[in-house]
Structure 1
Amino acid sequence: MVPALRKQYNEHFTKEKYDAFIKDLSNIFPDQLEFRIAETPIYIPTSFTQKMLNACESIIDVITTPAYQKQSERAIPDHLKVPNEDAHPHFIAFDFGICQNEKGELEPQLIEMQGFPTLFTWQVLLPEMHEKHFGKPDNYSIYLNEFNRESYTDLLRKIIVAEAKPENVILLEIFPEQQKTRVDFFATEQFLGIKTVCLTKLIQEGKDLFYMRDGQKTKVERIYNRLIFDDLFQQPKEVQEKGRIFQQELNVTWVPHPNWFYRLSKYTLPFIDHPYVPETKFLNTVTTLPADLENYVVKPLFSFAGQGVIIDVTKEQMEQIPDPENWILQRKVQYANVIETPDEPAKAEIRLFYFWEPGAPRPIATCNLARLSKGKMVGVRYNKDKEWVGGTFSLFEQ
């Protein structure tokens, strides 16, 4: 992305420095880092950053309209609707692929978006440890809009903890000790002082929820929700039964409210018309299949981590989908082999974090994570036995 910085970084990279970096990184929360960390960050020039932000702001223009609020009601499955929904999401994550257009120019293309948290606190620690071992260009930062470590974590605390005491706020997951992203739960506990609680450990008394903290039954006032219903429905019946609390009237505040997981998702893409958002249609609205079907991908609306995606689409596969209203047909984007590495170049995705401060008219871009890939799909599970792939971060030119 920035040739001079890429050349300099690669020339000074050594396996010994990388191994020392990973050792120190792994020791922050021993035995909790379960996904691969890439060997390099991504350097993003201002012009490319502005293209991503322009797309995000255009999407926010759409999703903040009353019309979209009404249209997106259908995005929430009836049996999963949660009471007391907020007027807007607390968080939005926008995933952009670094792509090549028909002229061979690099441009962002939106792959997905979600009204749901991601690795917000881990992405503070990862770049700091990387800088300790590899340094960082002076005029580059992981943050956007002049945020820094202090202001970023202050805003995160303001949204998640708000006026409550940290002991009355929990991070909710299903079997958190089994989650591949659990290192972020530990980082969240460190930054915010809140505890991670498994759904099965909640105690319900009428409309109130409690959990055991240091041997004391403690009231839950706010829930930083990291639980995804797809994951819940893969659990035994007795665990799923505990999930019924989501559909009940409770004396808790959800952060973010679970309905926004569905309102802001792949479901949103067909409503967006922007040069950096690939053409997307609900499958049930497609009357004639494109002649160049090989240039499209089919995705289920309600899944995560790339599960269920059909990359090499055939007419026969399309006809076998029983619920086309729950799928989208999206034009493929051409990922650029943009990150030079010692062997083959890597593709990249950048996830921008948007936080919605209480009382603010719009959310604001704050920070990021990134992923490098050499496989058909971006994601740790699709890049086994490869190097210079995995989780990383972008450094934006300031």
Structure 2
Amino acid sequence: MIPKYRQAFNEAFSNEKYQQFQDDIASDFDYLPTFRMAETPFFISNELKAQLLEGCDDVIKLIQRDDFKQLTEKSLELNTKVPNEDEHTTFLAIDFGICEEDGKVIPKLIEVQGFPSLFNYQPTLYDKFKKYYPVLEELTPFVNDISQAQYLKILDDAIRNGHPKENVILLEIEPEKQNTKIDFYYCRRDLGIPIVCVTDLVKEGKQLFYTDEQGRRIQVKRIYNRVIFDELELRKDLKMDFSFSDDLDVEWAGHPNWFFRISKFILPFLKGKYFIETTLLSDLKDIPEDLENYVLKPLFSFSGSGVIFHVKKEDIEAVVEKDLYILQKKVNYIPIIQSPDGKVKTEVRVLYVWKKEDPSPTPLCNLVRLSRGEMIGVKFNKDKDWVGGTVGLFEKAIG
């Protein structure tokens, strides 16, 4: 998108450098991420940045409505409701496909999540790119052009909320087996909080405890929640000493209820130039004749599971719980990133944190995914290069 940086990067790129870049990330924890790391960042022009933030603002206006909890209460009725919900979400991830409409580039909202993403991995990814491509020093992954130290301070405040590091945990299901565990490692490095599996927590009364590496029993006062509930539901084999529906004496950095409230559930409520026609299946009056132009999605799945890209009438008719699915119009992703052999499609996730006392969320960083397939997901990009996860870079403010 910024021609001079694209040209400079592509001229400097080599497969040898890409291998060194991957080896460098792997060397930090003797671990190479299991997801594909894309060869290039995405260079985001000021014009596209303004569009992305305008689209995000329109989403946030809905979330800030006085009746938002009332509007989304049904999402909790359909799932596990967790006690002690806070006033607003701590995290916000807003995904836009970079599309074409009337011959112009425009971001279109694909998904929104009240859930954390790779907050610690993304800035590190930028550092690694800079090391091999010094021209990238002139750019920044941070939306507000803040320093990395400022970024980590905001993130630390949101996750720990002033509690001692040992009393705040990153909670996940078998964290060592998760695709995102590289982010957990960087989080532990940057913020100093332990990574704990749900099966390692012990409940006493309303309190939770874990055992640290020195064998000490430590009370959990705040949970940085990375547990995805549809995965938890499937894991009937897990032996847990507590339930998320228990009334617990803990704070949440990312209260689980917001995963449901701020999800595909709210897409039908969003109208405007950055939004796609989306209908809850239970509200669908007639099945469209042109189903080739639609995607069928479950409301609360993660990482694209359960999505039907080539929808047939019988797929819609076969859905029993129609409150749990949406029918969404397809968008025209535009191949926009110039690779050595053709152009690549992209999706940008803008990452926000919303500290307890703040009136609105703060945009911080971003995550970008590149694709040569029909969709952004892994299964559409097997055995392809210049695809996968990366970071978007913005021009720094002048002065």
TM over 0.5: yes
Aligned to 1:308: 306
Deviation at 1:140, TM superposition (A): 2.1
Aligned to 2:11: 11
Matches within 5 A, 1:244-259: 245-259=243-257
Aligned to 1:59: 59
Q: Does 1:43 align with 2:43?
A: yes
Aligned to 2:107: 108
The question of whether the paired residues in 2 share the 8 Å contact of 1:278 and 1:330 is answered with yes
Aligned to 2:207: 208
Aligned to 2:265: 267
Q: Distance in 2 between matches of 1:219 and 1:44?
A: 44
The question of whether the paired residues in 1 share the 8 Å contact of 2:25 and 2:32 is answered with no
Per-residue CA deviation, residues 205-263 of structure 1 (Å, 9 max, x unaligned), is: 111100001210000000000001111122134x1x62852101111001110000000
One-letter amino acid matched to 1:320? A
Matches within 5 A, 1:273-288: 273-288=271-286
Aligned to 1:355: 353
Aligned to 1:335: 333
The question of whether the paired residues in 2 share the 8 Å contact of 1:92 and 1:117 is answered with yes
Q: Distance in 1 between matches of 2:36 and 2:343?
A: 17
The question of whether the paired residues in 1 share the 8 Å contact of 2:201 and 2:241 is answered with no
Per-residue CA deviation, residues 255-297 of structure 1 (Å, 9 max, x unaligned), is: 1100000000001111111211111111111102223221111
One-letter amino acid matched to 2:278? T
Identity %: 44
Q: Distance in 1 between matches of 2:257 and 2:38?
A: 33
The question of whether the paired residues in 2 share the 8 Å contact of 1:92 and 1:113 is answered with yes
Q: Distance in 1 between matches of 2:390 and 2:228?
A: 23
Q: Distance in 2 between matches of 1:136 and 1:116?
A: 33
The question of whether the paired residues in 1 share the 8 Å contact of 2:95 and 2:350 is answered with yes
| 3-state DSSP of counterpart to 1:80 | coil
Q: Which deviates further from its counterpart, 173-182 or 59-68?
A: 59-68
| 3-state DSSP of counterpart to 1:151 | helix
Deviation at 1:344, TM superposition (A): 3.2
| 3-state DSSP of counterpart to 1:377 | coil
The question of whether the paired residues in 2 share the 8 Å contact of 1:348 and 1:373 is answered with yes
Aligned to 1:387: 385
- C-alpha root-mean-square deviation of aligned residues, in Å? 1.4
Aligned to 2:195: 196
Q: Distance in 2 between matches of 1:359 and 1:233?
A: 33
Q: Distance in 2 between matches of 1:169 and 1:16?
A: 40
Q: Distance in 1 between matches of 2:313 and 2:172?
A: 38
Question: Are residues 341 and 78 of structure 1, via their aligned partners in 2, closer, same or farther at CA, if it must alter by over 3 Å?
Answer: closer
Q: Distance in 1 between matches of 2:333 and 2:195?
A: 36
Q: Distance in 1 between matches of 2:358 and 2:258?
A: 18
Q: Which runs of 5+ in 1 are unaligned?
A: none
Deviation at 1:380, TM superposition (A): 3.2
One-letter amino acid matched to 1:203? V
Question: Are residues 259 and 39 of structure 1, via their aligned partners in 2, closer, same or farther at CA, if it must alter by over 3 Å?
Answer: same
One-letter amino acid matched to 2:65? T
Deviation at 1:202, TM superposition (A): 0.5
Aligned to 1:92: 92
Q: Which deviates further from its counterpart, 323-332 or 84-93?
A: 323-332
Q: Which deviates further from its counterpart, 380-389 or 208-217?
A: 380-389
Q: Distance in 2 between matches of 1:194 and 1:62?
A: 33
Q: Does 1:233 align with 2:228?
A: no
Deviation at 1:52, TM superposition (A): 0.8
The question of whether the paired residues in 2 share the 8 Å contact of 1:32 and 1:182 is answered with no
Q: Which deviates further from its counterpart, 376-385 or 59-68?
A: 376-385
Per-residue CA deviation, residues 103-147 of structure 1 (Å, 9 max, x unaligned), is: 221110111010000100011111101100112345421001232
One-letter amino acid matched to 2:169? I
Q: Which deviates further from its counterpart, 308-317 or 82-91?
A: 308-317
| 3-state DSSP of counterpart to 1:242 | coil
Deviation at 1:32, TM superposition (A): 4.7
| 3-state DSSP of counterpart to 2:240 | helix
Q: Which runs of 5+ in 2 are unaligned?
A: none
Give the number of equivalent residue pairs: 395
Q: Given the two structures, how large is their TM-score scaled by the length of structure 1? A: 0.96
Q: Which deviates further from its counterpart, 328-337 or 1-10?
A: 1-10
Q: Distance in 2 between matches of 1:40 and 1:268?
A: 32
The question of whether the paired residues in 1 share the 8 Å contact of 2:166 and 2:194 is answered with yes
Aligned to 1:185: 184
The question of whether the paired residues in 1 share the 8 Å contact of 2:42 and 2:393 is answered with yes
Aligned to 2:364: 366
Aligned to 1:224: 224
Q: Distance in 2 between matches of 1:227 and 1:32?
A: 22
One-letter amino acid matched to 2:153? D
Q: Given the two structures, how large is their TM-score scaled by the length of structure 2? A: 0.96
Q: Distance in 2 between matches of 1:201 and 1:358?
A: 28
The question of whether the paired residues in 2 share the 8 Å contact of 1:380 and 1:391 is answered with no
Aligned to 1:68: 68
